[in-house]
Amino acid sequence: MKSKITLLLLFVLIGLKHIAQPVSSTTYVQTCYNKTQCSSINNSSFLFFDESRNELFLKVDFNNFKTGEDSIDDWLNDLTETALYFKAPFQAENFSGLSNHNHKNYTLRGEVFFNGIWHYQTIELTIFAAESNMLGPNNNGNKYDNYKVNFSLPIAPKDFKIHKKPHHLTKTIFIGLALGRINLLLPGQETILGDAYKKH
């Protein structure tokens, strides 16, 4: 009997761990280096919505964009020492009133944290309901997964002193999300966002 209870608890813990795992979003990064258009795409960023603070967060880890081929990844080397974070105020009410047939556009004035530097950044965000939207939590308990977002985040290397690194990137770096998936920020996940979450 004791072993059955232990086994049951183990399954519950595994299930809770699975539910708490955030889902990533397909992201592209693009810039011009040595007069050549360079780009990479990967399922390597995370979007979070914090209900307690009404804030939207993005985390991008450039290490995940590498292909393993030095000749292709060369330009990414200046970006991989630190993750990029974006945070912006976003009210929970913005999710209401959406159906499968409409969308909403928002101008968000937020902040980017990259290479140890904060910089104000404005983006245009489009939010819409997924086709499977049931206006309630899906099978993983995240009601925000019923919504998807599109936006582009242009980064000027000089604003974050990236241009001083070995490859001297100077052209705008575009980071874009299409059908970005929103995670509800759960207690204990604040550490994923590091200093971006600590700053109020």
Give the residue extent of every domain in the chain: 23-198
Tell me, what's the pLDDT at 134? 45
Average pLDDT in the 17-36 region? 81
* Euclidean distance between CA atoms 113 and 15, whole angstroms: 33
* Euclidean distance between CA atoms 87 and 57, whole angstroms: 4
Tell me, what's the pLDDT at 127? 94
Chain centre distance of CA 46: 3
Residue 18 pLDDT grade (very low, low, confident, very high; cuts 50, 70, 90)? very low
Average pLDDT in the 89-96 region? 92
Tell me, what's the pLDDT at 16? 46
Tell me, what's the pLDDT at 38? 86
* Euclidean distance between CA atoms 45 and 153, whole angstroms: 13
pLDDT in tens, 64-87: 887 777 666 778 877 877 899 999
Tell me, what's the pLDDT at 6? 52
What's the one-letter identity of residue 36? T
pLDDT score of 1 more than 70: no
* Euclidean distance between CA atoms 136 and 13, whole angstroms: 24
Strand 36-50, strand 173-184: pairing: parallel
HSE toward the beta carbon, residue 138, CA cutoff 13 A: 17
Gyration radius from the chain CA atoms: 19
Mean per-residue pLDDT of the chain: 83
Task: Tally DSSP H helices, then E strands, for the chain.
Answer: 3, 8
Neighbours of 102 (CB within 10 A): 9
pLDDT score of 99 more than 50: yes
pLDDT score of 115 more than 50: yes
* Euclidean distance between CA atoms 45 and 115, whole angstroms: 17
pLDDT score of 11 more than 80: no
Strand partners, 180: 149
Tell me, what's the pLDDT at 139? 46
Superfamily classification of domain 23-198: Lipid/polyisoprenoid-binding, YceI-like (2.40.128.110)
